[in-house]
Structure 1
Amino acid sequence: MSGINMFVCMLLLSVAAVAEGQRFKGFRKFYRGQDENAKMLRTVFDEQWFVQKLDHFNGADSREWKQRYFVNGNFYKPGGPVFLMIGGEGPANLAWMQTGTWLTYAEKMGALCFMLEHRFYGKSHPTDDLSTDSLRFLSSRQALADLAHFRVITADQRGLSESKWVAFGGSYPGSLAAWFRLKYPHLVHASVATSAPVHATVNFPEYLEVVRHSLASENTECPLLVEQASDSLVKRLKDPETYGNITKDFNLCSKLQIQTEMDSAYFLETLAGNFMDVVQYNEDNRAFAGGRGTNITIKVLCGLMADTSLGDPYARYAAVAKLMMDTFSIKCLDARYTEYLSDMTNTSWEGAAAGGGRQWVYQTCTEFGFYQSTDSPNQPFTGFPLTYQVKQCAEFYNVSAQQIAEAVLQTNEYYGGYDIRSSRIVFPNGSIDPWHALGITEDITSSLPAVFIKGTAHCANMYPARSEDPPQLAQARVHVSVFLQQWLKE
């Protein structure tokens, strides 16, 4: 996720602007760029609003707010199931109301489809600002209670109380889909929890270990070259005389200033994020939803890193950064931690990080951790250890390292982590995706099956099918469909 890394592929995928993407370090972004069809789609799928409770766990608090949702009834057949797409750490993306695997299933099964935006993201604003005091109402538990209340009231109002509801989600919303079935089994009949990191952990160095393995799957020399480049850059950062050249090499917006360890860690993580993003979404189909950069794959990056005509590994590393900036029309790279800190501590809904950055990092600090550090020797990067990630929680929200650890422990105690106990939940994951390390990749029981897809990336099975999809991805979609059809008969 780049900064405190983690923006995701939820099925209510985020729509993060490129300018913000340079400083927003969350569940690695699903795609960078606004949905070009958003205006057109809004005329087809009108915004609707659901009156929601602010605090589901305090009966004395009667405050309410309006939560955004969308409906697609094109495939609904009376008596059919109801599909609920769960929103995550970004605005609802209307492209998913028009296409995607879940709609293929809906057409086959005659389902009515809802997409509910997550509280505190997109236009779903429960509070007047994003102050830390306001963000105490942002949690997965409150989000699940939102889903439950939406499901109960909507079913009653639309005559759907006897219908079987199925939850869908990818990445963090994938976890929510699993937990919705776990915590509210009387309300949701089954769930598809794609690329769901169900196990919370403060330190997540395994993420970069999978990145290394995924790079090596293309070229065994690739992660070694990346490591040499990263080490070379770290060595240069120790000498202020090199800052001018580094500024030019990486086309920084202002001359590099390294005054604290946070400054260097932020810069190093930003550059590593180029590889992390590409690996997480390697060869996916996000272009259908307006995503750019789908032509930048592991093969492309490793090809650049192996190109000796560009110079030494350090120069090739800079070439990768240039390619990414050119691809996303970024004029220069803002690698200033001080600017990121300023953005992330802006509590206004108009702030630069209000699109999801400030909210999601708060959730990592108070529930999940998920910090993709360089603390493991079995990965190619250097310079952004756990201490750097944890310190951001203190600077942004006054949350200490001990509080993070306690929060992560509570999350696993509440949901069960890897040891989830429920039924009728399917867990698709891709082997290329670093997040599979925190997911379910082997069957727990026959009613809690895993669909592990070799050679595919984050949430790949959720995208619309295309001719170039590998056969194992096409088969995975079929497996999920079979499970759903079987469970809807139960």
Structure 2
Amino acid sequence: MRFVFSWLLLLSFVVTLTTTTRGAPNKTPRLSPVDPLLKRQTDVSAIISSDFETFFYDQTLDHFNYKPESYTTFQQRYIINSKWWGGANKNAPIFVYLGAEEPIDQDVTILGFLTENAPRFKALLVYLEHRFYGESNPVRSKEGQDPVEAMKESVKNDTIRGYFNSAQALADYAELLLHIKNKLDAHNSPIIVIGGSYGGMLSSWFRLKYPHIALGALASSAPILYFDDITPQDGYYSIVTKDFKEASENCYATIKQSWDDIDRVATMPNGLAILSQKFKTCSPLNNPLELKDYLESMYASAAQYNAPPKYPTTRICQGIDGASNATDILDRVFAGVVAYHPGRSCYNMTSEATQTSIGWQWQVCSEMVIPIGITSNVSMFPNSPYVLKEFIDDCVNRFDVMPRPHWVTSYYGGQDIRLILSKFGSNIIFSNGLRDPYSSGGVLEDISENILALKTINGSHCLDILNSMETDPEWLVKQRKDEVKIISQWFSKYYQDLRLLKQ
């Protein structure tokens, strides 16, 4: 079977079924700093305050060619907060958030690392939107389309979609940051780029590719080693399994057994109707895979965003274990669903297309080829191996394009990273929480004295760069303090060098 994974507002799957064994041509969880489902309501509905000003820049469509169409421009959105900035005359620093696979305004209100540390450093805050997302889509800027429709058109248009890649995005950021510095006459203001997940990868790569623009990078939960064969394909889902097993052995065993029970019930007369009723689906199930995919994505999301004070994996397992009197395993599994999503009258097994779900699928099928699969017998998930040929076939069917599985390591590196980066890289913080499944592809050990890995045993995806809370545990507070201390040292060295150059 070809098992196609698309990360929507809930990590949801698009599936094509042919056998009971699963292959995973496109089983790549979305790389987002925060769980869209678990955003606090205040974050979801927050209106960006007047401290944040929105601007647009006439960005170059193609930075790497000199064809006539290369000089086409589109409107790239960026947001600035100058509330705490010490000013260009004092060479005050600039914190830059590199946007990733979603509109930039969805991140501004949740990125506490920038706003909470700006007063200390008297920093200017800049948020850059990734090309093709939000209001920075070349198709939308030309045709005035709805953002989702513009994204659909973008990934179908073979004259446009070739410009939808990370190298072009980094070049956008370089050109735009130089424009901002020139506009503010802030030529000597040092820049720190910050990003989470895919944006964390972009941050580390930006420091390596444009060291003359960025003094340093904070790359949170950046799985830059999850390419080629550097990280075993089981890495992601092995941590999902580990998270649930640590929460409860009984919960782990129940989930592991449930997949066969779903198949068993589905083969019964009116089996799909029974499953639909048992799991209170908003519409009747068409096949058992819709339910399996919903559950798999829920478990993966809970593990990826397994944050305190109420760890989602623990919450699900409390629901499952709390229904131990139920003789039916699937009733216990449904109790876990209710514990994770309380108060719902029904559970939607499908999700509407979004900019992110469409755009990220294109990125995965072109260059972000992250080989995630399931082959371990101890996994709580059914077997679902990553098979490159099936992945390629799926992407060709979807986009009529051949993925480039080795391009990321060719262009950015990754193989023998300790040997290579220790020779020329500097000023990068790789932060990870080991409960995050994507930490399996992260940098977890120091590479040199100034390419540093900060990891926390109980941390989850991008937790360190999100808004702080009074309930934050000490280990998370310390991780953030350590990051600030390292950045302070970078600034001290920079200003010392600047003074020497001006003498």
Q: TM-score per shorter chain, which class?
A: 0.7 to 0.9
- Segments of structure 1 that go 5 or more residues without pairing to the other structure are 8-15, 259-263, 286-294, 341-351
The Cα of 1:312 is off from its aligned counterpart by: 3.0
Corresponding residue of 1:386: 386
The letter for the 1-side match of 2:154 is L
The Cα of 1:392 is off from its aligned counterpart by: 4.3
Are 1:477 and 2:480 matched, yes or no? yes
The letter for the 2-side match of 1:243 is L
> Judging changes above 3 Å, is the alpha-carbon distance between structure 1 residues 102 and 442 closer, same or farther for their aligned structure 2 residues?
same
For residue 259 of structure 2, the aligned residue among 227, 230, 243 is: 230
Corresponding residue of 1:10: none
Compare 359-368 and 219-228 and name the one that shifted more: 219-228
Corresponding residue of 1:161: 187
Corresponding residue of 1:146: 172
Corresponding residue of 1:397: 399
Are 1:246 and 2:275 matched, yes or no? yes
Q: CA offsets, 1:400-422, max 9 Å, x none?
A: xxx43xx1211112111261621
Structure 1: distance between partners of 2:320 and 2:273: 23
> Judging changes above 3 Å, is the alpha-carbon distance between structure 1 residues 390 and 216 closer, same or farther for their aligned structure 2 residues?
farther
The Cα of 1:98 is off from its aligned counterpart by: 7.6
Corresponding residue of 2:318: 303
> Judging changes above 3 Å, is the alpha-carbon distance between structure 1 residues 39 and 127 closer, same or farther for their aligned structure 2 residues?
same
Q: CA offsets, 1:268-298, max 9 Å, x none?
A: 222111111111112258xxxxxxxxx5622
Corresponding residue of 2:430: 427
For residue 74 of structure 1, the aligned residue among 75, 83, 95 is: 83
Are the equivalent residues in 2 in contact too, given 1:25–1:357 (CA < 8 A)? no
Corresponding residue of 2:407: 410
For residue 283 of structure 1, the aligned residue among 283, 292, 307 is: 307
Matches within 5 A, 1:252-331: 252-258=281-287, 265=289, 267-284=291-308, 297-307=312-322, 308-326=324-342, 329=344, 331=346
Matches within 5 A, 1:151-230: 151-201=177-227, 204-230=233-259
Are 1:86 and 2:98 matched, yes or no? yes
Structure 1: distance between partners of 2:254 and 2:46: 44
The Cα of 1:156 is off from its aligned counterpart by: 1.2
The Cα of 1:36 is off from its aligned counterpart by: 5.5
SS in 2 for 1:48: strand
Are the equivalent residues in 2 in contact too, given 1:4–1:389 (CA < 8 A)? no
Structure 1: distance between partners of 2:467 and 2:294: 30
TM-score (norm 2): 0.81
Are the equivalent residues in 1 in contact too, given 2:194–2:203 (CA < 8 A)? yes
- Segments of structure 2 that go 5 or more residues without pairing to the other structure are 15-27, 141-152, 494-503
The Cα of 1:5 is off from its aligned counterpart by: 5.1
Are the equivalent residues in 1 in contact too, given 2:376–2:383 (CA < 8 A)? no
Are 1:65 and 2:74 matched, yes or no? yes
Matches within 5 A, 1:7-156: 16=9, 26-27=30-31, 30-32=35-37, 40-41=47-48, 43-60=50-67, 61-78=70-87, 79-93=91-105, 96=108, 100-128=112-140, 129-132=153-156, 133=158, 134-156=160-182
The letter for the 2-side match of 1:386 is Y
The Cα of 1:179 is off from its aligned counterpart by: 0.1
> Judging changes above 3 Å, is the alpha-carbon distance between structure 1 residues 416 and 239 closer, same or farther for their aligned structure 2 residues?
farther
SS in 2 for 1:449: strand
Percent identity between the aligned chains? 25
The Cα of 1:383 is off from its aligned counterpart by: 5.7
Q: CA offsets, 1:104-134, max 9 Å, x none?
A: 2222111111000111111211225323323
Aligned residues: 444
Q: CA offsets, 1:144-179, max 9 Å, x none?
A: 011111111111111122111110001000000000
Structure 1: distance between partners of 2:304 and 2:110: 24
> Judging changes above 3 Å, is the alpha-carbon distance between structure 1 residues 300 and 83 closer, same or farther for their aligned structure 2 residues?
same
The letter for the 1-side match of 2:35 is F
> Judging changes above 3 Å, is the alpha-carbon distance between structure 1 residues 478 and 425 closer, same or farther for their aligned structure 2 residues?
same
Are the equivalent residues in 2 in contact too, given 1:441–1:450 (CA < 8 A)? yes
Structure 1: distance between partners of 2:290 and 2:132: 26
SS in 1 for 2:444: coil
Q: CA offsets, 1:448-467, max 9 Å, x none?
A: 00001111111111122223
Corresponding residue of 1:450: 453
The Cα of 1:95 is off from its aligned counterpart by: 5.9
SS in 2 for 1:40: coil
RMSD: 2.8
> Judging changes above 3 Å, is the alpha-carbon distance between structure 1 residues 148 and 279 closer, same or farther for their aligned structure 2 residues?
same
Structure 2: distance between partners of 1:471 and 1:231: 41
> Judging changes above 3 Å, is the alpha-carbon distance between structure 1 residues 304 and 39 closer, same or farther for their aligned structure 2 residues?
closer
SS in 1 for 2:426: coil
Structure 1: distance between partners of 2:271 and 2:292: 15
Are the equivalent residues in 2 in contact too, given 1:305–1:316 (CA < 8 A)? yes
Structure 2: distance between partners of 1:35 and 1:445: 40
The letter for the 1-side match of 2:366 is T
The letter for the 1-side match of 2:79 is F
The Cα of 1:197 is off from its aligned counterpart by: 1.0
